[in-house]
Structure 1
Amino acid sequence: MIQEKTQGKDHLPDQSEQAERFPFVFSKSALLRSSGFGMMGLLLLVCYSGISQTASLSLSDAIEIGLKNNYQIQIRQLEKEQAANLNDWGVAGKYPSINLSLSNNNTYSGSSNPASFLREIASFGTGLGPGVEANWVLFDGYRVRFTKQQLEQQEQRGEIALKLAVENTVQSIIQAYYAALVQKEQLDVRMEVLALSRDRVEYQEIRKEYGQAGTFDVLQTQDAYLNDSTSYIVQLNTYENALRSLNLAMGIDAFGTQYTLTDTLSRDLPSYELNAIQTRMLANNQSILNLQMARELAHTNTLLQESTKSPTISLRAGANYNLNKTVFGTGTFADGSDRDLGGIGSSNYSTFINLNATYNIFDSGVRRKQVENAKTGELIAQLNIEEAKRSLNLQLENGLATFESQRELVRVTQQLVDNASRNLEIAEERFRGGLINSFDYRTIQLGYINANQSLLNAIYNMKLTETELIRLTGGLVR
């Protein structure tokens, strides 16, 4: 309760609370005091290290968590179980059906005929008839076999749909994980540059004390530090947003969860050969497999429609037992006397076995048209496959060409970063030696930042393209 009151609407965090997360908020006063500035840098390092002291998360762990939490995967799994449950010979109609029946018939009748010797009579009858009946289709043009084949194909299609859901989930998690890694490494670069700017401020403060630097020089380094502090805050927020997006991809509702990403953005440059990955794609791509299964289902549907041209032979057998009782009550005779006529009871038992054969000799061409439509459905399914192959081949070639360009871009930007890093080291030495001014040093520093951002973006784009190539070749799902 105390915590809720202190965090009410009118409560503002004190300086220590803000400094714990964003130590740059109070950097102005710290920058005016060299000793205070050193303490601010220490707080910055504590804040930065505090971000890393969270749960460790590798890419494989993220994928495992996401596969467990994804709703689409759970839905596809249940649909697959439904299809598997229906994949049975009984559902296909192979076995006979047996029905039990029980009937109860009740009648009441009354008659009045003065010309008869029995002038008036009333009767009540009741009957109970249990029975059992079995029906079995012996032959229907192999329709049972084709229906069972259709059920098996529907189960296999459910498995492919599940793999497609898994594939999409894995790809989204990989993209979100690498996006968070890029933001994390950019945050590291911002932290590195911020530390350099802090050292420059301290260095200029010392030079000012000995009369070797003026207020203008100190202000320039302070401005650079404040700008770097702002950039760090923005980058920190971007990184945390990337972690929240990663949580969403993993199906985690607690978006505030922080992670230490244990995988790294590998600078390795793999190579792919078009013919090899094209062969793998045509054999393993889940979209093609799904369309091929649709074609097989269309062919099975054609067989089912053709089976309607065959005769149907069925067997029907059963047994019935009837128990009847009639009560006549009191009757009035011609002489005016009334007598109790009593009642009668009867029972009978019967069994039967019948063989029935039917063959449709005319239906206005309905069956022929259904077969033609089924065959047209097969052609449509085949054309869908050919269209998908053409589109996927284009995607594969474009993706591979893009990947090769991105590999070269990573190689070039890596050299650019190496040069910028070396240039920054030399600039630091020259700045301390008074050979360059703060403007020149800042330009080189910004060049180092831009080079690192270009490299990280190039690596990230290359990873996205590589992931897409792996997805196209069916490598995301084993």
Structure 2
Amino acid sequence: MKKYIAKICLSVMCFMATFSVAMAQQQVLTLEQAIDVALKNNYNIRLAKNTAEVAANDYAYANFAFAPRLNATTGVSWSSTATKQEFANGTKRDTSGIKGNNVNASLNLNWTLFDGLKMFATRDKLEAIRSLGELAIKDQIQNSIATVIGGYYNIVQEKQQLKALADQMSISEERVKLSDAKFTTGLGPKTDLLQSKVDLNAQKALYLRQLTVIEQSKSLLNQLMAVPSGATQYDVMDSIPLNMALSLGELQDNITKNNTSIKVQQQNVQVSSLAVKESKADYFPVISFNSAYNFNRNTSNAASNNFSPKFNRNGVLNYGFTAAIPIFNGFNVKRQVRDARLNLEYQNIALDNVKSQINLGLVNAFKDYEYYKQAFALEEENLDLAKENMMVALERFKQGVSTTIEVKQAQQSLEDSYYRLIQARYNTKLAETELRRLNSSIIQ
């Protein structure tokens, strides 16, 4: 059993040494680089850009709504006639073998001169939709950057947890040495030695698990950057920088004019308002200018009498004005206008709801920010106390004035302090990121 345990420990230590060398050789991925890759590749951003490009393409042709519509048609047909006739006076006529062809063409122009200003409303709506697409891209970029920041610093805090575990393993190794020395000299029981080895092996298992967690976290970041999930051969920074000077008053003053989610919804209101104008235009008559040129040509290789032409050609040009006056269509226009107004009312309610949610999110995020800042400062102090307590406990154990239980309690306290401090630092960064996202200052 001892040989088996020793073999496991040796394998773990070899793996840790290999991992440390590999980490030292890995290229460090900075947060700025991760964000840059995500902005180029992120699926949600690419989808938002595609939608915006459709809106921009529609707007590029918006002014053609004022242009006339010109259509041309043409056709050609051939005929072959075989006719036999007998008359009452006994005469007969056979006109078999007569062939002919017909060519026709027409050119039609329709120019809407007035449609209740619907053309203008449509053009303005397409412009508003284009602006909506641009705002949607910016909003998605803000959200994606915030997610990348969270994913990147999640790897950093997992890496810090790994370092904390390595420190704990060093303490456990010292416990094993002291327990072994005491047991060898008869100053301590074998149970202390066995328990210290069990604790060390447990921490080695946690270390291996933490390595896996780091790889999984990198895969999640890769997904956000839209790169292969297996491409995890990179390292991240060691620290999490914090901005400890954010002010709620300044954030609240700027959030209404800066927040992209609010701007997106305001643009939705604008689009719906223009849709109402479009619907109202159907109450008015549509006045159009129309013109057409028609051409027709018939040819035949023979004629039955002197009055049947062998060749006939016509060209006719006509033009004029038409007015389509809506009189009654089952109140369909009234229904459409009411639907458009209801949609506008819905969008206004949605705007109020978005503003309320954003303000609530800002207040709650700032409360988290303030709490985690205080918790971070407190846990820094706690970590210093836990380290000092650990040193005292080890020294007391070395001198034989304390038990392994006291050392284990001190070690557990140090482990918990490390965990809480790392979590407090990471959560402070998440709260800071959320505040910057809500204020739309995250891309600055």
* Structure 1 Cα separation of the partners of residues 22 and 324 of structure 2: 79
Separation in 2 of the partners of 1:86 and 1:267?
44
Seen in structure 2, the aligned counterparts of structure 1 residues 143 and 342 have a Cα distance that, compared at 3 Å, is closer
Q: CA deviation at 1:447?
A: 0.8
Corresponding position: 1:425 with 2:398: no
What does residue 303 of structure 1 align with? 277
- Residues 117, 313 of structure 1: alpha-carbon distance in 2 compared, 3 angstrom cutoff: farther
Partners in 2 of 1:90 and 1:245 — Cα distance?
42
CA distances 1:114-168 after superposition (whole Å, capped 9, x unpaired)? 1479742535442212332222112222222111111111212222232333233
**CA RMSD of superposed structures (Å):** 3.1
CA contact (8 A) 2:37 2:225 kept: yes
Matched, 1:239 2:214: yes
Aligned match of 1:55: 27
Q: Is the 8 A contact 1:281 1:472 kept in 2?
A: yes
Q: Distance in 2 between matches of 1:85 and 1:117?
A: 75
CA contact (8 A) 1:92 1:148 kept: no
- Matching residue's letter, 2:424: A
CA distance in 2, matches of 1:106, 1:116: 34
Q: CA deviation at 1:91?
A: 6.5
Residue deviations 1:224-257 (CA, integer Å, cap 9, x gap): 3223222222222222222222222322223252
CA 77–271 in structure 1, closer or farther in 2 if over 3 Å, else same: closer
CA distance 1:266–1:430, shift in 2 (3 Å)? farther
**Residue of structure 2 equivalent to 1:327:** 301
Cα offset for 1:411?
1.6
Q: Which amino acid aligns with 2:5?
A: K
Question: Given the superposition, is the C-alpha separation of residues 459 and 118 from structure 1 closer, same or farther in structure 2, using an over 3 Å criterion?
Answer: farther
Q: Which residue does 1:345 correspond to in 2?
A: 311
SS of corresponding position for 1:475: coil
Structure 2 counterpart of 1:379, from 345, 365, 383: 345
Match of 2:266 among 277, 292, 298: 292
1:229 equivalent in alignment to 2:204: yes
Q: Could you tell me how far apart the structure 2 residues matched to 1:208 and 1:43 are?
A: 27
Asked if 2 retains the 8 angstrom alpha-carbon contact of 1:88 and 1:148, the reply is no
Instruction: Answer yes or no: is the 8 Å Cα contact 1:89–1:148 preserved in 2.
Output: no
Q: Please tell me the residue identity of whatever aligns with 1:412.
A: L
3-state SS of the aligned residue for 1:308? helix
Q: Which moved more, 1:107-116 or 1:171-180?
A: 107-116
Report if the CA contact (8 A) 2:142-2:442 is conserved: yes
Structure 2 distance, partners of 1:384, 1:300, is: 17
Q: Which residue of 2 aligns with 1:408?
A: 374
Aligned counterpart, 1:164: 139
Structure-1-length-normalised TM-score: 0.82
Structure 2 residue aligned with 1:318: 292
User: Does structure 1 retain, via aligned residues, the 8 Å contact 2:276–2:340?
Assistant: yes
Amino acid at match of 1:293: Q
Measure the CA separation in 1 of the matches of 2:359 and 2:89. Answer: 98
1:360 corresponds in structure 2 to 326
Deviation at 1:108, TM superposition (A): 5.5
Which residue in the other structure is 2:50 paired with?
78
Farther-moved stretch of structure 1 (410-419 vs 217-226): 217-226
What is aligned with 1:272? Answer: 247
CA distance in 1 between counterparts of 2:152 and 2:134 reads 27
**Distance change (3 Å), C-alpha of 1:359 and 1:58:** same
Q: What residue number does 1:112 align with?
A: 85
**Residues 270 and 52 (structure 1 numbering): CA distance in 2 closer, same or farther, change over 3 Å?**
farther
Q: How far does the alpha carbon of each residue in 1:399-448 deviate from its partner, in whole angstroms, 9 at most, with x for none?
A: 22222222221121111112112222333343334443333222211111
Which whole-Å CA distance do the structure 1 matches of 2:304 and 2:335 have between them? 68
Native 8 Å contact 1:324 1:345 kept in 2: yes
Would you say the 8 A contact 2:104–2:295 is kept in 1? yes
Contact 2:38 2:226 in 1 (8 A): yes
Task: Measure how far apart 1:188 and its partner are.
Answer: 0.1
Matched position secondary structure for 1:222: helix
Question: Cα 1:381–1:439, aligned 2, differ >3 Å: closer, same or farther?
Answer: same
Rate the CA distance shift 1:27–1:62 in 2: closer, same or farther, 3 A.
Answer: farther
1:191 to 142, 148, 166: 166
TM-superposed deviation, 1:189: 0.6
Within 1, Cα distance between the matches of 2:207 and 2:214? 10
Conservation of the 8 A alpha-carbon contact between 2:12 and 2:204: no
Which of 69, 72, 77 is the equivalent residue of 1:97? 69
Residue in 2 that maps onto 1:29: 6
Structure-2 separation of matches of 1:249 and 1:204:
48
Structure 1 counterpart SS, 2:116: coil
| Aligned residue in 2 for 1:138 | 113
The count of corresponding residues between Structure 1 and Structure 2 is: 439
Please say if 1:440 is aligned against 2:414.
no
**Secondary structure at the counterpart of residue 254 of structure 1:** coil
Q: TM-score, normalised by structure 2?
A: 0.87
Answer whether contact 2:243 2:432 (CA < 8 A) is retained: no
Rounded to whole Å, the distance in 1 between the matches of 2:398 and 2:139 is 59
CA distance in structure 1 between the partners assigned to 2:7 and 2:73 by the alignment:
95
CA distance in 2, matches of 1:214, 1:361: 105
Decide which moves more: 445-454 or 284-293.
284-293
| Structure 1 residues not aligned, in runs of 5+ | 1-24, 32-36, 332-339
> Is contact 2:220-2:229 (8 Å) kept?
no
Write the distance in 2 (CA, Å) between the matches of 1:406 and 1:94. Answer: 59
Percent of residue pairs bearing the same amino acid type: 23
Unaligned 5+ residue runs, structure 2? none
